[in-house]
Amino acid sequence: MRLEGKRALVTGSSQGIGAEIARLFSKEGATVVVNHRAGAPHPERTVDSIRKAGGKAFALHADVSDPVSVRGLFRDVKKRVGGLDILVNAAGLADRTLWNLKLEDTTLEMWQRVFAVDAFGTFLCTQGAAGLMKRGSSIVNVASIPAIVGDTEGLVYASAKGAVISMTRMFAKMLAPEIRVNCMAFGSIETTWVDWLGKEQARSYLSAIPMRRFGKPSEAADLALFLAGDKSSFITGQVITLDGGEAAR
Ligand SMILES: NC(=O)c1ccc[n+]([C@@H]2O[C@H](COP(=O)([O-])OP(=O)(O)OC[C@H]3O[C@@H](n4cnc5c(N)ncnc54)[C@H](OP(=O)(O)O)[C@@H]3O)[C@@H](O)[C@H]2O)c1
Protein backbone atom coordinates (compact mmCIF):
# COMPACT_ATOMS: atom_id res chain seq x y z
CA MET A 1 0.00 0.00 0.00
CA ARG A 2 1.31 3.37 -1.01
CA LEU A 3 -0.01 5.55 1.83
CA GLU A 4 0.29 3.13 4.76
CA GLY A 5 0.26 5.01 8.07
CA LYS A 6 -0.31 8.42 6.46
CA ARG A 7 -2.92 10.92 7.64
CA ALA A 8 -4.69 12.71 4.80
CA LEU A 9 -7.21 15.55 4.76
CA VAL A 10 -9.26 15.92 1.58
CA THR A 11 -11.33 19.10 1.51
CA GLY A 12 -14.58 18.99 -0.47
CA SER A 13 -14.85 15.23 -0.32
CA SER A 14 -18.59 14.80 0.22
CA GLN A 15 -18.94 13.94 -3.47
CA GLY A 16 -17.27 14.00 -6.88
CA ILE A 17 -13.52 14.01 -7.31
CA GLY A 18 -12.76 14.72 -3.64
CA ALA A 19 -14.79 11.68 -2.54
CA GLU A 20 -12.99 9.48 -5.07
CA ILE A 21 -9.62 10.72 -3.83
CA ALA A 22 -10.63 10.04 -0.21
CA ARG A 23 -11.66 6.48 -1.10
CA LEU A 24 -8.47 5.74 -3.05
CA PHE A 25 -6.23 7.16 -0.32
CA SER A 26 -7.99 4.97 2.21
CA LYS A 27 -7.55 1.88 0.00
CA GLU A 28 -3.85 2.73 -0.06
CA GLY A 29 -3.69 2.64 3.73
CA ALA A 30 -4.19 6.28 4.78
CA THR A 31 -6.45 7.45 7.58
CA VAL A 32 -8.63 9.97 5.79
CA VAL A 33 -10.27 13.09 7.14
CA VAL A 34 -13.28 13.78 4.95
CA ASN A 35 -14.20 17.47 4.88
CA HIS A 36 -17.22 19.34 3.59
CA ARG A 37 -19.63 21.94 4.91
CA ALA A 38 -22.21 21.05 7.51
CA GLY A 39 -25.63 20.31 6.07
CA ALA A 40 -24.43 18.55 2.91
CA PRO A 41 -27.18 16.43 1.31
CA HIS A 42 -25.43 13.12 2.04
CA PRO A 43 -23.08 14.11 4.84
CA GLU A 44 -21.58 10.76 5.77
CA ARG A 45 -21.69 9.00 2.39
CA THR A 46 -17.94 9.10 1.78
CA VAL A 47 -17.04 8.04 5.30
CA ASP A 48 -19.59 5.23 5.21
CA SER A 49 -18.25 3.84 1.93
CA ILE A 50 -14.67 3.95 3.22
CA ARG A 51 -15.58 2.20 6.47
CA LYS A 52 -17.62 -0.43 4.63
CA ALA A 53 -14.53 -1.20 2.54
CA GLY A 54 -12.53 -1.65 5.76
CA GLY A 55 -10.74 1.71 5.68
CA LYS A 56 -10.24 4.37 8.34
CA ALA A 57 -12.01 7.71 7.92
CA PHE A 58 -13.95 10.34 9.81
CA ALA A 59 -15.73 13.51 8.77
CA LEU A 60 -14.95 17.02 9.94
CA HIS A 61 -17.38 19.66 8.77
CA ALA A 62 -15.86 23.04 7.99
CA ASP A 63 -16.35 25.80 5.47
CA VAL A 64 -12.91 26.27 3.89
CA SER A 65 -13.73 29.91 3.07
CA ASP A 66 -14.24 30.81 6.74
CA PRO A 67 -11.05 31.40 8.76
CA VAL A 68 -12.70 30.53 12.08
CA SER A 69 -14.12 27.32 10.67
CA VAL A 70 -10.73 26.37 9.17
CA ARG A 71 -8.94 27.04 12.47
CA GLY A 72 -11.44 24.70 14.15
CA LEU A 73 -10.86 22.09 11.42
CA PHE A 74 -7.11 21.92 11.99
CA ARG A 75 -7.54 22.01 15.77
CA ASP A 76 -9.79 18.95 15.43
CA VAL A 77 -7.39 17.22 12.98
CA LYS A 78 -4.61 17.63 15.55
CA LYS A 79 -6.81 16.33 18.34
CA ARG A 80 -8.01 13.29 16.38
CA VAL A 81 -4.87 12.17 14.51
CA GLY A 82 -2.01 14.22 15.96
CA GLY A 83 -0.75 15.74 12.70
CA LEU A 84 -1.05 15.60 8.94
CA ASP A 85 0.97 14.08 6.07
CA ILE A 86 -1.22 14.94 3.09
CA LEU A 87 -3.63 17.75 2.25
CA VAL A 88 -5.72 17.79 -0.93
CA ASN A 89 -7.42 21.14 -1.54
CA ALA A 90 -10.31 19.78 -3.61
CA ALA A 91 -13.15 22.01 -2.31
CA GLY A 92 -14.41 24.13 -5.17
CA LEU A 93 -17.40 26.17 -6.16
CA ALA A 94 -18.61 26.17 -9.75
CA ASP A 95 -22.41 26.47 -9.79
CA ARG A 96 -24.17 26.81 -13.11
CA THR A 97 -24.81 30.56 -12.71
CA LEU A 98 -21.11 31.12 -13.43
CA TRP A 99 -21.24 29.76 -16.97
CA ASN A 100 -22.62 31.34 -20.17
CA LEU A 101 -22.17 34.74 -18.58
CA LYS A 102 -21.53 37.90 -20.51
CA LEU A 103 -18.80 40.17 -19.17
CA GLU A 104 -21.38 42.89 -18.43
CA ASP A 105 -23.41 40.45 -16.30
CA THR A 106 -20.41 39.34 -14.25
CA THR A 107 -20.52 40.81 -10.75
CA LEU A 108 -17.98 41.41 -8.05
CA GLU A 109 -20.14 39.29 -5.74
CA MET A 110 -19.42 36.29 -7.99
CA TRP A 111 -15.68 36.93 -7.75
CA GLN A 112 -15.93 37.19 -3.96
CA ARG A 113 -18.01 34.01 -3.67
CA VAL A 114 -15.78 31.84 -5.86
CA PHE A 115 -12.44 33.23 -4.71
CA ALA A 116 -13.57 32.70 -1.10
CA VAL A 117 -13.75 28.92 -1.60
CA ASP A 118 -11.23 28.07 -4.34
CA ALA A 119 -8.49 30.61 -3.68
CA PHE A 120 -8.87 31.78 -0.07
CA GLY A 121 -9.85 28.24 0.98
CA THR A 122 -6.66 26.87 -0.54
CA PHE A 123 -4.65 29.53 1.28
CA LEU A 124 -6.36 29.00 4.65
CA CYS A 125 -6.09 25.20 4.53
CA THR A 126 -2.47 25.30 3.39
CA GLN A 127 -1.68 27.62 6.29
CA GLY A 128 -3.47 25.31 8.73
CA ALA A 129 -1.90 22.14 7.34
CA ALA A 130 1.64 23.49 7.19
CA GLY A 131 1.55 23.94 10.97
CA LEU A 132 0.80 20.22 11.42
CA MET A 133 3.11 18.77 8.75
CA LYS A 134 6.60 17.34 9.07
CA ARG A 135 9.31 16.76 6.43
CA GLY A 136 8.08 14.48 3.64
CA SER A 137 4.51 15.80 3.61
CA SER A 138 2.63 16.71 0.46
CA ILE A 139 -0.04 19.22 -0.54
CA VAL A 140 -2.05 18.69 -3.72
CA ASN A 141 -4.08 21.58 -5.12
CA VAL A 142 -6.80 21.54 -7.73
CA ALA A 143 -7.05 23.89 -10.69
CA SER A 144 -8.60 23.79 -14.11
CA ILE A 145 -7.22 24.10 -17.65
CA PRO A 146 -8.92 27.41 -18.57
CA ALA A 147 -6.67 28.95 -15.92
CA ILE A 148 -3.76 27.96 -18.18
CA VAL A 149 -5.06 28.31 -21.72
CA GLY A 150 -8.05 30.66 -21.35
CA ASP A 151 -11.62 30.15 -22.50
CA THR A 152 -14.65 32.11 -23.69
CA GLU A 153 -16.64 31.37 -20.51
CA GLY A 154 -16.09 30.65 -16.83
CA LEU A 155 -14.05 33.84 -16.25
CA VAL A 156 -14.49 33.98 -12.48
CA TYR A 157 -13.87 30.28 -11.91
CA ALA A 158 -10.80 30.20 -14.17
CA SER A 159 -9.38 33.28 -12.46
CA ALA A 160 -9.76 31.72 -9.01
CA LYS A 161 -7.99 28.60 -10.28
CA GLY A 162 -5.26 30.86 -11.69
CA ALA A 163 -4.70 32.06 -8.13
CA VAL A 164 -4.45 28.42 -7.02
CA ILE A 165 -1.74 27.81 -9.63
CA SER A 166 0.23 30.85 -8.44
CA MET A 167 -0.11 29.70 -4.83
CA THR A 168 1.14 26.26 -5.80
CA ARG A 169 4.38 27.72 -7.16
CA MET A 170 4.76 30.13 -4.25
CA PHE A 171 4.04 27.58 -1.52
CA ALA A 172 6.31 25.00 -3.18
CA LYS A 173 9.24 27.35 -2.72
CA MET A 174 8.13 28.74 0.64
CA LEU A 175 7.55 25.33 2.24
CA ALA A 176 10.46 23.38 0.72
CA PRO A 177 12.26 21.22 1.59
CA GLU A 178 9.78 19.97 4.22
CA ILE A 179 6.57 20.00 2.21
CA ARG A 180 6.01 19.43 -1.50
CA VAL A 181 3.19 21.36 -3.18
CA ASN A 182 1.78 20.45 -6.59
CA CYS A 183 -1.38 21.09 -8.53
CA MET A 184 -3.68 19.06 -10.76
CA ALA A 185 -5.30 21.06 -13.56
CA PHE A 186 -8.34 19.16 -14.74
CA GLY A 187 -10.15 19.38 -18.03
CA SER A 188 -13.68 17.97 -18.10
CA ILE A 189 -14.10 15.30 -15.45
CA GLU A 190 -17.44 13.55 -15.22
CA THR A 191 -19.07 14.78 -11.99
CA THR A 192 -22.43 16.46 -11.26
CA TRP A 193 -21.89 19.37 -13.67
CA VAL A 194 -22.11 16.99 -16.64
CA ASP A 195 -25.81 16.49 -15.77
CA TRP A 196 -26.41 20.19 -16.51
CA LEU A 197 -25.34 19.77 -20.12
CA GLY A 198 -27.82 19.31 -22.91
CA LYS A 199 -26.97 16.82 -25.68
CA GLU A 200 -25.69 19.50 -28.03
CA GLN A 201 -23.55 21.12 -25.36
CA ALA A 202 -22.09 17.78 -24.32
CA ARG A 203 -21.21 17.07 -27.96
CA SER A 204 -19.49 20.43 -28.23
CA TYR A 205 -17.44 19.80 -25.04
CA LEU A 206 -16.43 16.37 -26.28
CA SER A 207 -15.38 17.66 -29.68
CA ALA A 208 -12.74 19.81 -27.96
CA ILE A 209 -11.20 16.80 -26.20
CA PRO A 210 -8.79 14.77 -28.35
CA MET A 211 -9.59 11.63 -26.29
CA ARG A 212 -13.32 12.19 -27.15
CA ARG A 213 -14.57 11.45 -23.65
CA PHE A 214 -14.80 13.05 -20.23
CA GLY A 215 -12.26 12.08 -17.61
CA LYS A 216 -13.29 9.81 -14.76
CA PRO A 217 -13.03 10.85 -11.09
CA SER A 218 -10.96 7.67 -10.59
CA GLU A 219 -8.38 8.99 -13.10
CA ALA A 220 -8.21 12.26 -11.14
CA ALA A 221 -7.75 10.26 -7.93
CA ASP A 222 -4.87 8.28 -9.48
CA LEU A 223 -3.02 11.53 -10.20
CA ALA A 224 -3.71 12.77 -6.68
CA LEU A 225 -2.26 9.53 -5.31
CA PHE A 226 0.88 9.94 -7.39
CA LEU A 227 1.39 13.54 -6.23
CA ALA A 228 0.57 12.77 -2.60
CA GLY A 229 2.81 9.73 -2.31
CA ASP A 230 6.53 9.02 -2.37
CA LYS A 231 6.61 8.13 -6.09
CA SER A 232 6.68 11.87 -6.79
CA SER A 233 9.26 12.66 -4.09
CA PHE A 234 11.35 15.04 -6.29
CA ILE A 235 8.38 16.83 -7.85
CA THR A 236 7.24 20.13 -6.36
CA GLY A 237 5.78 23.38 -7.68
CA GLN A 238 4.32 21.65 -10.74
CA VAL A 239 0.96 21.93 -12.43
CA ILE A 240 -0.01 18.68 -14.11
CA THR A 241 -2.90 18.64 -16.55
CA LEU A 242 -5.36 15.76 -16.71
CA ASP A 243 -7.56 16.63 -19.65
CA GLY A 244 -7.50 14.06 -22.45
CA GLY A 245 -5.26 16.39 -24.45
CA GLU A 246 -7.62 19.40 -24.45
CA ALA A 247 -5.00 21.95 -23.42
CA ALA A 248 -2.23 20.52 -25.61
CA ARG A 249 -0.55 23.24 -27.68
N1 LIG B 1 -15.32 18.12 -12.54
C2 LIG B 1 -14.57 18.81 -13.37
O3 LIG B 1 -14.69 18.71 -14.60
C4 LIG B 1 -13.51 19.73 -12.83
C5 LIG B 1 -12.67 20.37 -13.75
C6 LIG B 1 -11.68 21.21 -13.28
C7 LIG B 1 -11.51 21.39 -11.92
N8 LIG B 1 -12.37 20.79 -11.05
C9 LIG B 1 -12.18 21.03 -9.63
O10 LIG B 1 -12.08 19.79 -8.94
C11 LIG B 1 -12.62 19.93 -7.63
C12 LIG B 1 -13.72 18.90 -7.42
O13 LIG B 1 -14.66 19.07 -8.47
P14 LIG B 1 -16.01 18.22 -8.53
O15 LIG B 1 -16.49 18.29 -9.92
O16 LIG B 1 -15.83 16.92 -7.84
O17 LIG B 1 -16.95 19.18 -7.64
P18 LIG B 1 -18.32 18.90 -6.88
O19 LIG B 1 -18.88 17.57 -7.24
O20 LIG B 1 -19.13 20.13 -7.08
O21 LIG B 1 -17.81 18.83 -5.37
C22 LIG B 1 -17.33 19.98 -4.76
C23 LIG B 1 -16.97 19.65 -3.35
O24 LIG B 1 -16.51 20.85 -2.70
C25 LIG B 1 -17.21 20.96 -1.47
N26 LIG B 1 -17.30 22.36 -1.07
C27 LIG B 1 -17.85 23.40 -1.75
N28 LIG B 1 -17.73 24.53 -1.06
C29 LIG B 1 -17.10 24.20 0.11
C30 LIG B 1 -16.68 24.93 1.24
N31 LIG B 1 -16.90 26.25 1.33
N32 LIG B 1 -16.05 24.28 2.24
C33 LIG B 1 -15.83 22.94 2.18
N34 LIG B 1 -16.20 22.18 1.12
C35 LIG B 1 -16.83 22.82 0.10
C36 LIG B 1 -18.55 20.32 -1.72
O37 LIG B 1 -19.07 19.82 -0.50
P38 LIG B 1 -20.38 20.42 0.22
O39 LIG B 1 -21.17 21.19 -0.81
O40 LIG B 1 -21.02 19.17 0.69
O41 LIG B 1 -19.82 21.26 1.30
C42 LIG B 1 -18.13 19.11 -2.56
O43 LIG B 1 -17.68 18.07 -1.73
C44 LIG B 1 -13.11 21.37 -7.52
O45 LIG B 1 -12.10 22.17 -6.95
C46 LIG B 1 -13.33 21.75 -8.97
O47 LIG B 1 -13.25 23.14 -9.17
C48 LIG B 1 -13.36 19.95 -11.47
Task: Give, as one character, the DSSP assignment of residue 144.
Answer: E
Q: Sketch the domain layout of the chain as residue ranges.
A: 7-240
Ligand 1 atom 13 nearest Cα: 17
In Å, how far are 73, 75, 89, 155 from 128, measured between CA atoms? 9, 9, 12, 28
Q: What is the pLDDT along the chain (249 residues), one digit of tens a residue?
A: 999 999 999 999 999 999 999 999 999 999 999 999 988 766 689 999 999 999 999 999 999 999 999 999 999 999 999 999 999 999 999 888 999 899 999 999 999 999 999 999 999 999 999 999 999 999 999 999 999 999 999 999 999 999 999 999 999 999 999 999 999 999 999 999 999 899 999 999 999 999 999 999 999 999 999 999 999 999 999 999 999 999 998
Q: Is the CB of 94 under 6 A from ligand 1?
A: yes
Q: Is the CB of 191 under 6 A from ligand 1?
A: yes
Q: What is the number of the ligand 1 atom nearest to the C-alpha of 188?
A: 3
Domain 7-240 has CATH 3.40.50.720: yes
Q: Which residue, among 234, 130, 228, has the nearest Cα to 184 in the 3D structure?
A: 228
205 classed as catalytic: no
The overall pTM is greater than 0.85: yes
Of 25, 74, 123, 157, which one is the catalytic site residue? 157
CA atoms within 13 A on the CB side of 88: 35
Q: Is the CB of 227 under 6 A from ligand 1?
A: no
